[in-house]
Amino acid sequence: MEKIFLASQNMHKINEIQYIMGEKYKIYPASDLIGNIEVEEYGKTFIENSVIKAVSIGDKINKPVIADDSGLCIEALNGFPGINSARFMNDKTYEEKMVHILEKMKNEKNRKAYFVCVATFYISGEFCFSYEGRVYGSISKEIRGNKGFGYDPFFIPDGYEKTFAELGDEIKNEFSHRKRAFEGLIEKLNKI
């Protein structure tokens, strides 16, 4: 089993990524080695921010690191919240963020949206590569479900009538944006 450190302290994300990565790789939070993980995400795209996090943490710990950057892009809001999905209304809960977004969309017929995740693998001084995954869907008219995290309670993936938070991790992890990004990453890792 290969050890890889994740540039995140979010236990929901760590558990989800471990599930996706399977038994061949063991994921540990990089905070186990360096304490609090604070990286300024100054990139203008998901891939830039993913690489910034991987390189910043990887150079500090000098061990294999995976970082990801992900977010929700809503068509009617010109891609908002996008790369700022976690940071917008930073002092508020995700429920408050969703209420705010639903208010902005209350008269909007176009509910199309997608989640994007870019996963980056980095070994200091050796190599760095990334893979992007997306899942398309729509924004529900209300917050529904209590499984999952982040914006899951109002995102309905294409082909379903329930939100990710109603479907639960077992179904979500079969085809989520994170699953698609990390599957692509694993495929590249297995060729090293």
Query: 170-189, pLDDT tens digit by residue?
Result: 898 889 999 999 999 989 88
What's the whole-number mean pLDDT along residues 80-105? 95
What's the whole-number mean pLDDT along residues 78-104? 95
Number of domains present in the structure of the chain: 1
Q: Is the pLDDT of residue 87 over 80?
A: yes
Nearest to 152 by CA among 171, 165, 135: 165
What is the structure's pLDDT at 34?
77
Report the distance separating Cα 59 and Cα 65, nearest Å.
9
Tell me which residue range forms the domain holding 75: 2-189
Q: Is the pLDDT of residue 122 over 70?
A: yes
Q: pLDDT digits over 58-77, tens only?
A: 999 899 999 999 999 999 99
pTM for this structure?
Answer: 0.90
CATH number at residue 152: 3.90.950.10
Q: pLDDT digits over 22-46, tens only?
A: 888 899 888 877 767 778 888 999 9
Q: Is the pLDDT of residue 1 over 60?
A: no
Confidence of residue 49 (pLDDT cuts 50, 70, 90): very high
Residue 2: both structure tokens together: 């290969």
Nearest to 157 by CA among 95, 111, 108, 92: 111
As annotated, the active-site residues are 69
| 147 vs 83, more confident | 83
